Amino acid sequence: MKITRISAYQIDLPLHEGSYKWADGKSVEVFDSTVVAVETDAGITGHGEVCPLGPAYLPAYANGARTGIKELAPKLLGLDPRDLGTINRVMDQAMRGHPYVKSPLDIACWDILGKATGLPAVTLLGGRCGEDLLLYRAISQDTPDAMAANVAGYRAEGYTKFQLKVGGDADTDIARIHAVSEKLLPGDVLIADANTGWLMHEAARVVEGVRDVDIYIEQPCPSYEECLAIRRRTPKPFILDEVIDGLPAVLRGASDLAMDVINLKISKVGGLTKARQIRDLCLSLGIAMTIEDTWGGDITTAAIAHLAHSTPADFLFSATDFNSYVTVSLAEGAPQRRQGRMSASTAPGLGVTPRLDVLGEPVFSVE
């Protein structure tokens, strides 16, 4: 089997809530997503998706994804997409860094591998663990009372894990955390995610100011060293996210006891192949994971579901269903949330069929 054509599509994904706000006043109203179609001479086509959280979150942006895919695509023509190790080595040799560019191509090849073998990606990634998996809901940054009200509303939809977007003024963030914590029920889990938004003195004030709250602290500061310093000042369980970009980062964090949980974003590390390597390392090291991505629609949600559902439940801290946040459906067959949970498809590959009327014409095709 050989790759014969690679096409890229651009799709806007508006949000049900109108906007998504996080640290330092950052916000997005419409997500710019890229869907990749990898065609083969066997008549099998695989699909992947990448959707950066705007240009100001990670070193990634939507136009950069499409430019990079166009650069890499010619290097993959003629290769067997089922040879995932070769595909990733060729991409890494042809382009240094830019893992988010490589991610949708790698995901599309996993989709092809599943279709070629007749197996769902969840089976190929390690096997289905349990009937379904627990999701968290991100609570967009707002006033303390508004965020508390949003938590109550999402609990009615079945969510029990809530990731508060903080990372602003320390006093306001302390008030946000207390307001939400007062609305929690037994069994609820609360995460304060600063998305690198605090300086060290602000993070120190917040962790002290919420010492009486049962809460996880996620990525308080931009650098690993700053986060480690805050980790050593609080007994709260600690999550690292933005600084976890590969195997060396996980090994360093494990050696320093820098975290209890990591946030594993598929496109940040280069796709399902490398995300699975990190997942399996965490299983060996005893580190729990939130498995997700930067953002996306139905195809990204499907990839998340397959990797998360193939992760033992005691190591899967959480996952998310990005397709429920947006108003546009990219594909049929994608996982759908039911009472705060979802499951991976049992169909071959990712189990999704893109909606051609939504994708429209490709931005480019390489053959």
Q: What is the CATH number of the domain that holds 99?
A: 3.30.390.10
Q: Band of the pLDDT at 18, cuts 50, 70, 90? A: confident
For residue 281, pLDDT over 90 is answered with: yes
Per-residue model confidence as pLDDT tens digits over 213-244: 999 999 999 999 999 999 999 999 999 999 99
What is the pLDDT at residue 25?
Answer: 82
Q: Band of the pLDDT at 54, cuts 50, 70, 90? A: confident
For residue 278, pLDDT over 90 is answered with: yes
What DSSP assignment string belongs to 98-167? -HHHHHHHHHHHHHHHHHHHT-BHHHHTT---SS-EEBEEEE-S--HHHHHHHHHHHHTTT--EEEEE--
Per-residue model confidence as pLDDT tens digits over 175-184: 999 999 999 9
What DSSP assignment string belongs to 217-285? EE--SSSHHHHHHHHTT--S-EEE-TT--SHHHHHHHHHHT--SEEEEEHHHHTSHHHHHHHHHHHHHH
For residue 360, pLDDT over 90 is answered with: yes
Tell me if residue 201 falls in helix, strand or coil: helix
What is the pLDDT at residue 24?
Answer: 79
The whole-angstrom separation of Cα 81 and Cα 137 is 34
Find the catalytic residue in 102, 165, 236, 274. Answer: 165
| Average confidence (pLDDT) over 124-148 | 96
What is the pLDDT at residue 19?
Answer: 84
What is the pLDDT at residue 294?
Answer: 96
Mean pLDDT of the chain: 96
Tell me if residue 307 falls in helix, strand or coil: helix
Question: Please, are residues 322 and 309 in contact by the beta-carbon 8 Å criterion?
Answer: no
> Considering the chain, what percentage of its residues have pLDDT values greater than 70?
100
End-to-end CA distance of the chain: 15
- How far CA 119 is from CA of 83, 254, 278, in Å, comes to 16, 34, 22
CATH number at residue 167: 3.20.20.120
**Total structural domains in the chain?**
2
Considering the entire predicted model, what is its pTM? Answer: 0.97
Domain identity same for 242 and 195: yes
| Average confidence (pLDDT) over 80-98 | 98
Name residue 261's beta-bridge partners. 239, 288
Domain identity same for 187 and 256: yes
**Closest listed residue to residue 215, CA positions, set 250, 256, 174:** 174
What is the pLDDT at residue 35?
Answer: 98
What DSSP assignment string belongs to 327-354? S---EET----BTTEE---SSSBT--EE
Question: Is the C-alpha dihedral spanning 195, 200, 203, 207 positive or negative?
Answer: positive
Question: Is the C-alpha dihedral spanning 132, 128, 125, 114 positive or negative?
Answer: negative
Q: Band of the pLDDT at 211, cuts 50, 70, 90? A: very high
| Average confidence (pLDDT) over 83-109 | 98
Domain identity same for 49 and 198: no
Domain identity same for 131 and 29: no
Domain identity same for 203 and 108: no
**Closest listed residue to residue 316, CA positions, set 352, 347, 351, 341:** 341
Residue type, 244: I
What is the pLDDT at residue 23?
Answer: 86
Joined tokens for residue 137: 């809901």
**Closest listed residue to residue 226, CA positions, set 193, 250, 255, 197:** 197
Domain identity same for 148 and 13: no
Domain identity same for 183 and 228: yes
For residue 132, pLDDT over 90 is answered with: yes
Q: Band of the pLDDT at 22, cuts 50, 70, 90? A: confident
Domain identity same for 285 and 148: yes
Domain identity same for 87 and 184: no
Domain identity same for 201 and 337: yes
The whole-angstrom separation of Cα 239 and Cα 227 is 10
What is the pLDDT at residue 344?
Answer: 98
Which range, of 156-160, 186-190, 262-266, 344-348, averages the lowest pLDDT?
156-160
Domain that holds residue 100: 3-118+354-366
Residue 165 catalytic? yes
Domain identity same for 140 and 50: no
Find the catalytic residue in 115, 161, 236, 265. Answer: 265
Per-residue model confidence as pLDDT tens digits over 59-72: 899 999 999 999 99
Domain identity same for 71 and 155: no
